[in-house]
A and B are shown apart, each in its own frame.
Chain A
Amino acid sequence: MVEKIYDSPAQALEGLCKPGMTVAVGGFGLCGIPEQLIIALRDTGVTDLTVISNNAGVDDWGLGLLLQTRQIRKMVSSYVGENEEFERQFMAEELEVEFNPQGTLAERLRAGGAGIAGFYTRTGVGTVIAEGKEHKQFDGHQYILEEGIVADLSLVKAYKADTSGNLIYRKTARNFNPMVASCGRITVAEVEEIVETGTLDPDQVHTPGIYVHRIVQTESEKRIEQRTTL
């Protein structure tokens, strides 16, 4: 059987990183981000990256780490507040940013992974998002064409994996991870626990192992962006 388990985040990325490549990254805010794989990606020194991720981390964590080192050329995101270095590079036009509506971004990743080249959506009709895009009328309503995304490399975070790469996410840490997992030519998963194949309930698997090529178990810090309590 093909061995999918790697001993460290660095080993899990070995041979996968090339300048100019497109990397899709799971997570919402700091929740469910592949935090240790992001650190390992930074440490490869790879540059000129296009990164597709709903958010861009904070200054000293998540994708903010790759912004500090200027390894990202372009971000495709829906919301990027909470990051001063991002703002500085964006305002200085050192960083290219493509904003996608959040649902459109999720669906573009899903479509890319599903072999669907494009889809029509009402989201963004009549806004700057629709400029230059094909419009088509269905049942009396205008829709715009959005294209699927396939990434050279996908990085996801899951709660549990089995040795075959079946993944289970936990609570709202699932977010973009399933679609990111499916849209990568190569997908690497960072997980909290790896169990033997056959021990996960097949009915509870969220991402089947066919999408997952490499797995690494890490100690996650799981930082909280806004700790709110009663």
Chain B
Amino acid sequence: MPLDRNGITQRAAKELEDGFYVNLGIGMPTLVANHVPEDMTVWLQSENGLLGMGPFPSDDQVDADLINAGKQTVTGVTGHSFFSSAESFEMIRGGHVDLAILGAMEVSQHGDIANWMIPGKMVKGMGGAMDLVAGVKRVIVTMEHCNRKGQPKIIPECTLPLTGRNCIDMIITDLCVLEMDRSKNLFSLVELAPDVTVDEVLQKTTAEILVPENVQQVSI
């Protein structure tokens, strides 16, 4: 049975470590915050200038001056801090953020990512995505394995305009977990979702990927 969004983000949360500074992209990645283990401190960075982002506010806590990068009203956890956009991207570009978890439209077999623009459709802009993939120590993509038309999203070369090159370290989809093997510059199939076979992954992946002899089941 393929993983649902909850399962994908639950698996992604296993990549967190105590004390990590983490930036979560808009959409599915924000669900990772629901799966942080209770005995772990993880500082969520919001690129509009907040380190230590907390949950949504109660009605009486809503503050127009306290939002996240998705423009939603939020709160700060104990010990949070505020800073300017320049300082926020010093953290990101300067390699101080341990992990970014982002969505993607396409990922290439060498770890290029496209997630900001579809030619011919309204271009909204890249926001902070290009800075994140260029600067954060480790970048994980969480996404559906295929697009809405059932076409593979993990492909030899991206067809959409790139957000960054050679920057994705891990992909977690509804079907499997792929980890970049830097020595071969290809993704390796490291885990399969329950009841998903290697053949199914290969059938839905046009990128060249490495398939070790023993692929584990996703651990969540």
- Distance of A66 Cα from B80 Cα, bound (Å): 35
Given the contacts A31-B71, A178-B84, A123 and B131 also touching, CB distance less than 8 Å: yes
Residues of chain A lying within 8 A (CB to CB) of residue B135: 103, 122-123
Q: List residues of B (40-90) whose CB comes within 8 Å of A's CBs.
A: 46-50, 55-59, 62-74, 82-86, 88-89
A129-B130, A172-B50 are contacts. A103–B65 as well, Cβ < 8 Å? no
Known interface pairs A29-B71, A122-B134. Does A99 touch B86 (Cβ–Cβ under 8 Å)?
Answer: no
Contact present for A31 and B131 (CB under 8 Å) = no
CB contact list, A60-99 vs B, under 8 A: 77-82, 87, 90-91, 97, 99
Of all chain A residues, which has the CB nearest B167?
Answer: A126
Within B149-164, which residues are at the interface with A (CB < 8 Å)? 161-164
B65 touches A99 (CB 8 A): no
The reply to whether the CB of B126 lies closer than 8 angstroms to some CB of chain A is yes
CA A23 – CA B37 in complex, angstroms?
46
**Contact among B68, B125, B134 for A124, CB-based, below 8 A:** B134
Known A126-B164, A172-B65; contact A177-B84, beta-carbon cutoff 8 A:
yes
**B134 close to A102 (CB less than 8 A):** no
- Report yes or no: B165 in contact with A125, Cβ–Cβ below 8 A: yes
Tell me the bound Cα distance from A110 to B84 in angstroms: 10
Q: Which residue of B lies closest to A124 (CB)?
A: B130
Given contacts A101-B126, A123-B130, contact A106 B56 (CB under 8 A): no
Among the listed B71, B74, B83, B112, which residue makes an inter-chain contact with A30, where contact means beta carbons less than 8 Å apart? B71
Q: How many residues of A contact B (CB 8 A)?
A: 57
**B220 interface hit (Cβ, 8 Å):** no
* Interface contact B48-A175, CB-CB below 8 Å: yes
Q: Give bound CA distance, A169 to B57, whole Å.
A: 21
* Interface majority SS (helix, strand, loop, mixed), chain B: loop
Asked whether B93 is an interface residue with its Cβ less than 8 Å from the other chain, the reply is yes
Given known contacts A79-B126, A172-B65, A28 and B48 CB-to-CB distance under 8 angstroms = yes
Complexed CA–CA distance, A79 and B26 (Å):
13
Flag whether B148 is at the interface (Cβ < 8 A). no
Contacts A103-B93, A179-B84 given; indicate if A127 touches B67 (C-beta within 8 A). Answer: no
Let me know if B82 and A172 touch, CB within 8 A.
yes
B65 touches A78 (CB 8 A): no
Considering the complex, give the chain A residue whose CB is closest to the CB of B125: A79
Tell me whether B93 and A127 are in contact (CB under 8 A). no
Judged by a CB distance under 8 angstroms, whether A1 is at the interface is no
Stretch at the interface among A7-15, A41-49, A209-217, A220-228: A220-228
- What is the CA–CA distance of A179 and B40 in the complex, to the nearest angstrom? 35
A107/B70 in contact, CB under 8 A: no
Provide the A38-56 mask, 1 if CB < 8 A to any CB of B, else 0: 0000000000000000100
Q: Does B124 contact A (CB under 8 A)?
A: yes
Which residue of the partner chain, among B66, B124, B164, B165, contacts A81 with CB atoms under 8 Å? Answer: B124
Supply 11 A–B pairs (Cβ within 8 Å), ascending by A. A90-B122, A101-B127, A123-B134, A125-B165, A128-B162, A172-B65, A172-B66, A173-B65, A179-B84, A226-B67, A229-B62
Interface, chain A (partner B; CB < 8 A)? 28-32, 54, 77-82, 87, 90-91, 97, 99, 101-107, 109-110, 121-129, 159, 169-179, 206, 222-230
